[in-house]
Structure formats: structure tokens, C-alpha cells
């Protein structure tokens, strides 16, 4: 049944009032104020429902109005949560700089998630890699640089990092990050435009990375390479199964003793298909392979391969 009028669900006179007031982290009570703002928003919802219950006629009208309320509240909550996340990161960055003279990398708005980043740190710390290859640069590149520099100081072994990015704008952004996080040049960041690449008789658009991989293979004298590969690009819009060529290219151009490979965003349908194809390929090409599906924010698959 049609309502005489819709509920005026505006969270008070100012719809964004709670978001702005609640995310002011210039004071120690910023988080409390944010939660208080959301609570007030819920109270406003409840009060408006009580004031307007007489215009909600019949079950259809009630369902429609409750759905509208739910959508509005979830929108406000999402907006507030994103703003709160930015403010927390900014607060941590300020404290880190004041206390230690360093800046943490930001995870807000970047492809890599914090749980994925922590996994990379742990994996590098507990493994004996000669080479780390990254397809798709960004926050993760700064993390790789910092971890490799820290480990080099502790054990005296340098770990070469090759990071490829096809997009000039993101290449430049990562380059700026590395000016701060990689003063010793642990990372070789390469602008590698996507080029037609034939894999298993099919053509893909993939990073122009083969020459750099061959050069690194020669430097390491072949046959002894223990590598970690992080596959976070190219984006799916560049073509079907866009990240599939990573594994065959690595197998063809590096003389590997061992390979650990991480596929980010493995919860997506295309990445699930890529993972199945890689499973088959690795079962044929390796002596031993183990796969783990990691329950990260965006999903990740991890293979540990021995040749």
C-alpha cells in the first residue's frame, strides 16, 4: 500500500553531522565521538519510525520503509567507517614520524590489504630467497623494500627485488614511495608496458618483463634461484585471465630451484580459474607443490613449489 509520505530519514537536520564530528581525531576522544555520532544516528532512526508509524500502512509499506532505512544507515555507516579509517592511519603516521622520524605506508585506497602485507613480511623473514618478483607495484613495493633492507642489516644477505608496472602514473607513484622507503636501492622498479605475449598458443597482454628476468637469471648463474613471486597485476580489464601468463613466464625464463608464488584477489572468478590452471601446470612441471588458500580480505592463493 502506498504511503502518504516517506519517512524523513536525514539523521537530523544535517545528514553528515555525525561523520564530520565523529572523525575529528585532533583530540584523544575522536574515536569515542565517532561511535557516539553513529549511536545518535540510530536513535534518530528509531524516533522517526515512532513519529511516523501512522503513515506506514500494511506489510508492503513497512518492508519498503525499513529497506530504505537500512540502505540509508548502511551508506552512512560505510562513509563514516572509511573516513574513520583514514583518520586512524593519519594519526598513526603522525605519531610514527614524531617518535621515530619515519612514515608508515598507507593501506587506504591501495590494492594490497594489511593482512596480505603482514603475510609477505612473515614469508620473507622466515625464508631464504635470492630474488623477489612483483607484478603490479604500489604499497607492497615499499613493504618489500623495507623488509629486505631490515633483513640485509641482520644477516648480511641482499635480496634483489624486481617490480614491474605497466601504468606510467602508478609507476611514478611507486617511484616516489621508494625515494623514502628504499634509500639503498633494494628494488629495481621497471616500467613494463603490456605487450602481446603468446602462452600455450594463446595471446595475452602482459608485462614486457622477459629481458629483465633473463638478465637476473644470468646474474644469479642459474639453477640456484629461490624466488618469491607476487602476482597483483595486471588488472582484469586488460583482458581475459589477465594474470595467467605470470607462472609460465617465470618457469620459462628462470632456472629455479624453488618458487613461492602468491596470487592476490584469488576470491574473484577469473583468479579462481587461473589458480586451477596453475595447479595443473605445477603438477606437471614440479617435483613437489603445496597450495594454501589464505583467508585474507580479498583472498589470496599461495603455492610452495620445489623443482
The whole-angstrom distance between residue 92's C-alpha and the CA centroid of its chain comes to: 19
134 and 164 Cβ atoms separated by less than 8 Å: yes
Mean pLDDT taken over the chain: 81
Beta bridge partners of 162: 133, 188
Which whole number is the average pLDDT over 296-306? 91
Report the distance separating Cα 137 and Cα 167, nearest Å. Answer: 9
> What 8-state DSSP symbol labels residue 57?
-
Homologous superfamily (CATH) for 114-306: Vaccinia Virus protein VP39 (3.40.50.150)
Buried (b) or exposed (e) across 125-157, using 16+ Cβ within 10 A?
Answer: eeeebbbbbbbbbbbbbbbbbbbbbebeeeeee
Which whole number is the average pLDDT over 267-287? 95
pTM of the entire predicted model: 0.70
Q: Which residues contact 256 (CB under 8 A, 6 or more apart)?
A: 225, 226, 227, 250, 305, 307
Beta bridge partners of 165: 191
Report the distance separating Cα 133 and Cα 190, nearest Å. Answer: 11
- Of the pLDDT bands very low, low, confident and very high (cuts 50, 70, 90), residue 290 is very high
Using CB atoms within 10 Å of the CB of residue 243, give its burial: 0 to 12 exposed, 13 to 18 middle, 19+ buried: buried
Which whole number is the average pLDDT over 101-126? 74
Domain ranges of the chain: 17-100, 114-306
Q: Bigger pLDDT: 281 or 41?
A: 281
Q: How far is CA 37 from each of CA 7, 30, 113, 145, 188, rounded to the nearest angstrom?
A: 20, 11, 27, 40, 47
In this predicted model, what pLDDT tens digit does every residue of 135-173 receive, in sequence order?
A: 999 989 999 999 999 999 999 989 999 999 999 999 999
Q: How far is CA 229 from each of CA 207, 249, 257, rounded to the nearest angstrom?
A: 14, 11, 14
Q: What is the CA radius of gyration of the chain?
A: 25
Amino acid at each position: 500500500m502506498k504511503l502518504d509520505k516517506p519517512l524523513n530519514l536525514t539523521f537530523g537536520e544535517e545528514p553528515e553531522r555525525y561523520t564530520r564530528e565523529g572523525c575529528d581525531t585532533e583530540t584523544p576522544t575522536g574515536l569515542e565521538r565517532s561511535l557516539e555520532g553513529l549511536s545518535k544516528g540510530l536513535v534518530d532512526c528509531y524516533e522517526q519510525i515512532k513519529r511516523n508509524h501512522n503513515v506506514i500502512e500494511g506489510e508492503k509499506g513497512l518492508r519498503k520503509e525499513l529497506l530504505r532505512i537500512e540502505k540509508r544507515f548502511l551508506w552512512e555507516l560505510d562513509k563514516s567507517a572509511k573516513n574513520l579509517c583514514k583518520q586512524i592511519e593519519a594519526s598513526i603516521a603522525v605519531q610514527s614520524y614524531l617518535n621515530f622520524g619515519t612514515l608508515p605506508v598507507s593501506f587506504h585506497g591501495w590494492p594490497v590489504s594489511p593482512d596480505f602485507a603482514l603475510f609477505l613480511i612473515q614469508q620473507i623473514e622466515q625464508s631464504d630467497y635470492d630474488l623477489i618478483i612483483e607484478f603490479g607495484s604500489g604499497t607492497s613495493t615499499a613493504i618489500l623494500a623495507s623488509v629486505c633492507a631490515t633483513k640485509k642489516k641482520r644477516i648480511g644477505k641482499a635480496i634483489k627485488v624486481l617490480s614491474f608496472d605497466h601504468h606510467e602514473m602508478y609507476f611514478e607513484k611507486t617511484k616516489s614511495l621508494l625515494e623514502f622507503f628504499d634509500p639503498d636501492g633494494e628494488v629495481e622498479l621497471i616500467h613494463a608496458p603490456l605487450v602481446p605475449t603468446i602462452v600455450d598458443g594463446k595471446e595475452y597482454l602482459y608485462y614486457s618483463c622477459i629481458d629483465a628476468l633473463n638478465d637476473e637469471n644470468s646474474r644469479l648463474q642459474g639453477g640456484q634461484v629461490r624466488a618469491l613471486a607476487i602476482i597483483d597485476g595486471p588488472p582484469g580489464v586488460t583482458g581475459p585471465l589477465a594474470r595467467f601468463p605470470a607462472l609460465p613466464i617465470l618457469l620459462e625464463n628462470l632456472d629455479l630451484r624453488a618458487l613461492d608464488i602468491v596470487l592476490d584477489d584469488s576470491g574473484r572468478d577469473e583468479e579462481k580459474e587461473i589458480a586451477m590452471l596453475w595447479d595443473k601446470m605445477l603438477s606437471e612441471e614440479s617435483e613437489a607443490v603445496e597450495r594454501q588458500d589464505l583467508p585474507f580480505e580479498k583472498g589470496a592463493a599461495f603455492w610452495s613449489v620445489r623443482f
